[in-house]
Structure 1
């Protein structure tokens, strides 16, 4: 049975940062259903996660298989795909601190002591084009595979901005993923960025 945390009160996130806490865990070979929302605020992609992969360490690789994508209510949607999927960046990939503009950071909420330091260096999705898979590169629908290098402990996988139909309109929905961990995959297979294998 896939793990679903859509029933929990877990806010999404609109930026990437290694200190955004994971909302759930998955073991290698396990599957998970991630309940995604559409856009937030000024049409920023609202990401679901992060999901910690048990045993993942920097230098490892996770292989993510897209098992299915569907609209809210459980109905599968052939041809649907995520707009973005990726792992958290490492500290070395964070920008110089800037004045934050109120991003969503999952469980790191405004008012907490950790919020301002994390918000000041969190990365926008648009700035991570070479580090994450996006629908501008490939439509990663059911049957697709994504290979992602791990940069932080647990990998901290996030996905979101689900697209349905030719208009690629981001709506609420779900995506089922299976995750496999390959130890030292970066060194063994020379994986330097996301490898996208659409159907």
Structure 2
């Protein structure tokens, strides 16, 4: 096993650990660990809510989740010699649930969860159809996930970090805050909000204290969106065997990571839509001096996907176009067309006995493929959702004898907003 440079004790909270990570982006958060180019090492990662979500049949914890405190990230990790303008090479050698802990109260100890937030807390991709809070528990056995809340489904996880990235420079942080505040100002009372401004409440900033903490907490960017530094990209194929090339904006690069997922569908459409868990990630790092200019990577990481995905040979696909449910035509709106494709998949699965929320949870957690299939044929964009038929223990394709009917069981825990 590689040297564990950021160990976490499952019996302690995130802020009571030997090393304290962070939940905001800021260039002044000190590196907790220093490594060298060519080093291989392990990092423990906590589930993004730090144990606030429980393995039970209630969604009250999702409804009342401590959103101001996410994501709890391990790091920063400084790489010796990395300087602004370089590219940081990060190889994901392995990633998985909490090792040797296959039962316990923390997500990652033999189980994980998928949630839908209430609209007031950010909602999800389909928040107009599902405005309340919901939760599904998934049990892990080997590399397979099953759920008491969604019967008839099992699939192999594509385990990956939902969030990994380098620290921003002061200038980059300033651009983030300015452009996101400008967006908020266009509709400041919107629910859910258009963006999340800096918020000192529940900020964790590593070893910063005193006046330095107060100043940084007022400036630091929330970790919810992906940005030029990588961040919360939620790319399901960023898994074992992947190589990522991150832009470097500060000395040492200051790499951080967390928000591990056992599995996820493209888009993480329920927002808390992967199978969330704590676990570990084994990494190898190196540096390409001047790589940002050499390869034209001035912003946003590029990566080589891993090759450990489960191999599904048969799919059933659903398409959607950029027309609203009320029949309003939109111009090449790929966000809308993907929503419509997802809704068509949900409607289809209800014919087999699933409730709409059970079907929604399947699309969020299972390894569906989402694609932009047409973005030039005015006025309609076309998006598609590919659902692997092999995840079901019955034939999910149309047939002359009609759809097989499953017993939906106890259903999905629900907490009204």
TM-score by length of 2: 0.44
Residue 184 (structure 2) pairs with residue 84 (structure 1) = no
Instruction: Name the counterpart of 2:200.
Output: 100
Give the Å deviation of 1:139. Answer: 2.6
Q: SS state of the match for residue 73, structure 1? A: coil
Measured against aligned partners, the alpha-carbon deviations of 1:98-128 in whole angstroms (never above 9, x if no partner) come to 562231111225xx22111111111112344
User: Which ranges of structure 2 fall in alignment gaps of 5 or more residues?
Assistant: 9-16, 50-65, 102-141, 144-156, 179-196, 265-272, 307-417
Aligned to 2:215, the other structure's residue is in SS state: helix
Q: Name which of 35, 45, 48 aligns with 1:39.
A: 48
2:86–2:288 CA contact under 8 A, matched in 1? yes
- The secondary structure found in structure 2 opposite 1:45 is coil
**Structure-1 separation of matches of 2:215 and 2:232:** 27
Give yes or no for contact 2:223–2:231 (8 Å, CA) kept in 1. no
Larger Rg: 2
1:57 and 2:83 equivalent?
yes
CA shift in 2, pair 1:98/1:16, >3 Å = closer
* Deviation at residue 87 of structure 1 after TM alignment: 0.2
Moved more, 184-193 or 127-136: 127-136
8 Å Cα contact 2:198-2:221 kept in structure 1:
no
Equivalent residue, structure 1, for 2:263 = 165
Counterpart contact for 2:224–2:232, Cα < 8 Å: no
Runs of 4+ off more than 4 Å:
74-78, 96-99
Say if 2:305 is the partner of 1:198.
yes
Residue in structure 1 matched with residue 234 of structure 2 by the alignment: 136
Gap change, CA 1:102 and 1:22, over 3 Å in 2 = same
1:82–1:135 contact (8 Å) kept in structure 2: no
Shift, 1:165, TM fit? 3.1
Deviation at 1:64, TM superposition (A): 0.4
Alpha-carbon RMSD = 2.3
Distance 1:98 1:188 in 2: 34
TM-score by length of 1: 0.88
Gaps of 5+ in 1: none
Query: Do 2:164 and 2:258's aligned partners in 1 also have CA atoms closer than 8 Å?
Result: yes
Whether 1:122 aligns to 2:131 is: no
Bigger Cα displacement from structure 2, 79-88 vs 120-129: 120-129
Specify the alignment match of 2:289 in structure 1. Answer: 183
* 1:141 aligned counterpart, secondary structure: coil
- Whichever structure has more helix as a proportion of its residues is 2
CA distance, structure 2, for counterparts of residue 28 and residue 54 of structure 1: 7
- The 3-state SS of whatever aligns with 2:224 is helix
**Could you tell me which residue of structure 1 aligns to residue 327 of structure 2?**
none
Cα displacement (A) at 1:137? 3.7
Shift in CA distance, 163/90, structure 1 to aligned 2, threshold 3 Å = same
The answer to whether the Cα contact below 8 Å between 1:60 and 1:184 also exists between their aligned partners in 2 is yes
Whole-Å separation in 2 of the counterparts to 1:127 and 1:136: 10
Instruction: State the shift of 1:74 in Å.
Output: 5.0
Aligned 8 A contact 1:82 1:139 in 2 = no
Find the partner of 1:29 among 38, 46, 61.
38
| Larger RCO of the pair (alpha carbons < 8 Å, separation 6+) | 1
